[in-house]
Amino acid sequence: MEKLVSSWSKNKPLPESYIFPPETRPGNLIVPTCKTIPVIDLCNAEGRNRTDIVQQILKASQEYGFFQVVNHGISENLMNESMDVFNELFEMPDEDKVILYSEDPKKSCRLLTSSLNYDREKVHQWRDNLRHPCHPLQDCIKHWPQKPIRYREVVAALSIEAKKLGLRILELVSEGLGLESGYFGDQLSEALHLFVNHYPPCPDPSLTLGITKHCDPNLLTILHQGDVHGLQIFNNEEWIGVEPLPNAFVVNIGNQLQIISNNKLKSGEHRVVTNSRVARTTAAFFIAPSEDSIIEPAISLVGEASVYRAFEYKDFLLDYLSHMGNNEVVLGRFESQSLNNGTPVNALLIQRGSKFELSRLDHGPDYPSRLKGTLE
């Protein structure tokens, strides 16, 4: 509990344990404001503007893996009320927050700080985080916070709307990819998790991060980032800031959507920077496959070659957690060409004319220790 940034950080200097190494710290970098991700108006998405909107979503998902949506149908009132409730939660006195705080990974609803890895990580992230599942609502709502008093009512309403919006966007994505209607329905989008992130004002934003560079592991993320800057995406080797727009949601493609689209869409890498003036609170809804879903590229998108092999979503999550932040390595482990699932192999390749022999020197359990063949 004393670890929560919101509980100890007021008027304190930045502790050493929050200082990132020079190569990952944000520095005094001014991110370009002329570049930003597309803003897509969902007004009439089910009517005369549909084809145009589908194309805009597809293009943004290919280029950035990120876009914002406006006129999405979720009321301004509900968005504001939810943000008020989330802010109130982090402003509660410590005796109320201590009830939610837990280091037990089995607890489905809990308040924590930095990451799941607090005790093992080299540097801590400048954020507190409340997380819980939102589906099925009647099972999980009883584990949600009881304070602020309106939390359950308001967040239940928002989570239902966020899921509906997510499914609507997934339907537009499936249309853009030429997949059948409802492709992402059922199992692939069954789960819904909420992260409420809170980044208190930070004494030195140039040295630390709210969240380090990552991709989201799920299918699609719907983020309400409030009205404070902080989210940046990594595109074409540079960081660009995501402008907070009133009543907009930020949408991003998760790893599973990149995989199912056989790399036609990309899961955008992003991070969160802090600021010294105001606290920032955001709410991210993660639409995800159920844990035992089989994930694989859609057959009609495979063409010449399937970039990824089939796997169970829960296996991806395990790898994601152990390689947090290294998107290439995690995706690499699920590529169909990957002989070794990403772990370096100590092997010897001997080629004589068209004959080859590959000997594995470390005799792992999954692969033959020697492979012989003829090159065509």
192: contact with ligand OGA by CB under 6 A: no
Residue 376 Cβ, how far from ligand OGA at the closest point, in Å? Answer: 45
Q: Which is nearer to Ni ion, 171 or 216 (CB)?
A: 216
Q: What residues make contact with Ni ion under the rule CB under 5 A?
A: 216
Which residue spans within the chain are E strands per DSSP? 39-41, 66-70, 110-113, 128-133, 191-199, 211-214, 220-224, 231-235, 238-241, 249-253, 269-272, 280-288, 294-295, 311-312, 347-352, 355-360, 370-374
Q: Give residue number: closest CB to ligand OGA.
A: 282
Q: Judged by CB, which is closer to Ni ion: 183, or 249?
A: 249
Q: Closer to ligand OGA at the Cβ: 163 or 270?
A: 270
* Distance separating alpha carbons of residues 100 and 95, to the nearest angstrom: 10
Q: How far apart are CA 341 and CA 336, in angstroms?
A: 9
Single out the residue of 211, 220, 260, 358 in contact with ligand OGA (rule: CB under 6 A).
Answer: 211
Q: CB-wise, 177 or 253, nearer to ligand OGA?
A: 253
Cβ-contact 113, 127 below 8 angstroms: yes
Whose Cβ is closer to ligand OGA: residue 179's or residue 287's? 287
| Distance in Å, CB of 309 to ligand OGA, minimum | 26
What tokens does 58 get?
């597809």
Residue 327 contact, options Ni ion, ligand OGA, none, Cβ 5-8 Å cut-off depending on partner type = none
What string of DSSP letters covers 194-252?
A: EEEEEE---S-TTT--SEEEE--SSSEEEEE-TTS--EEEEETTEEEE----TT-EEEE
Is residue 281 near ligand OGA by the rule CB under 6 A? no
Nearest distance in Å: CB 225, ligand OGA: 5
> Among 260, 272, 273, 287, which residue sits at the site for ligand OGA (rule: CB under 6 A)?
272
Sign of CA dihedral 233, 256, 225, 54: positive
- Residues engaged in binding ligand OGA (CB under 6 A): 195, 197, 211, 216, 223, 225, 230-231, 270, 272, 282, 284
